[in-house]
Amino acid sequence: HAEDAGWTGYPGGTVAAGAVAGAVGAVVGSPAYLVKTHLQAQTLSDMAVGHQHNHESISGAFKSIYQQHGVVGLWRGVTGAVPRVAVGSAVQLATFASAKDWVCERQWFRKGSWAAVLAGGMVSGVAVAVTMTPFDVISTRLYNQPVDADGTGKLYRGFLDCILQISSKEGLLGLYKGIGAVYLRLGPHTVLSLFFWDKLRNM
């Protein structure tokens, strides 16, 4: 819609459109991401690492969180998810368009070819992994921390407190924990989603 309205033609228009789309997606998907994080961290008591929420199923997790903390509890951690996905989406779309144009200007690939689209997606995947990993770490910590009866986090008070604690206790590299795994997940995802998005849009 931003492209049809001509907003992406302005400086920073693609970045802003990507950020808004990402932020909306993060808010809508936050409850599902919360439950996913709880379930993935959950394991047997003799090998458990980190806080355990002990949900029995997906539906049980939603029900348990709602009963304990109400509707607001389902969106706990969203303050970490919104900047995470907003930054990721903004970087993804902006670098994809720029990289695709760049390889065509250098005449490495023909404009509109599938190779140019894949090259743009590959560059974008690296950029997304580098910029998104710190937000990914923060988001995961906020979603999976234990909470008080009123839903307040026991480890981190919020987004900024989480950044400060990780930076001071684990150093700046602490914000890049798991970047290899992040790229292995986001690289193919970025390449394929942008490839199909570009081709379907042209159709």
pLDDT more than 90, % of the chain = 8
pLDDT digits (tens, 9 = 90+) for 146-184: 878 777 778 888 888 989 999 999 998 889 998 988 888
At 15-49, the pLDDT tens digits run: 888 888 889 998 999 899 888 888 877 766 665 55
Which residues have a Cβ under 8 Å from the Cβ of 155 and sit 6 or more positions away? 141, 145, 146, 165
- Please state the rounded mean pLDDT for residues 94-110: 78
H or E element, residue 97: helix 78-105
Distance linking the first and last C-alpha atoms of the chain: 16
Q: Could you read off the pLDDT of 55-86 as tens digits, one per residue?
A: 788 888 899 889 888 888 888 878 878 888 88
CA 124 to chain centre: 14
DSSP state at residue 46? G
Instruction: For residue 144, name the pLDDT band (cuts at 50, 70, 90).
Output: confident
- Cα distance between residue 193 and residue 187, in whole Å: 10
Q: CA-CA distance, 67 to 121, in Å (whole number)?
A: 42
Arithmetic mean of pLDDT, 175-195: 86
Domain ranges of the chain: 13-202
**HEC secondary structure over 163-197:** HHHHHHHHCHHHHHCCHHHHHHHHHHHHHHHHHHH
- The two tokens of residue 183 are 């790229």
